[in-house]
Amino acid sequence: MGVPSRPPRLHTLGKERALERYEERVQAVREAICSDAVQRAWSILLETDYELTWDPGREAWLAGDGYVFYTSLSEAPEKP
């Protein structure tokens, strides 16, 4: 038995194939999270925001509904 080969890097694939592989990886991560949640008897809801954008001024992710996801709690502004 040999060492399993690594999957190709996304940037080496054509645009369509790279997007397909990316979606496959996202789905695999979601399945792993849900599998663990089931084993722990947790309730979980995963949503996909296709309008998520990076806001370089805030250094945070901005959701389609305007919610801001900061990269760390120390970067989030304090609530009044």
Q: What is the DSSP string of 32-71?
A: HHHHHHHHTT--------TT-EEETTTTEEE-TTS-EEES
Q: What is the pLDDT of residue 50?
A: 87
CB 68 within 8 A of CB 55: yes
- How much is the mean pLDDT over the chain? 81
DSSP alpha helices (H): ranges in 1-80?
15-39
Q: What is the pLDDT of residue 10?
A: 63
Q: What is the pLDDT of residue 17?
A: 84
Q: Is pLDDT above 70 for 28? A: yes
The distance of Cα 59 from the centroid of its chain, to the nearest Å, equals 17
Look up the pTM and report it: 0.53
| Residue pLDDT, tens place only, 44-71 | 888 888 899 998 888 889 999 999 988 7
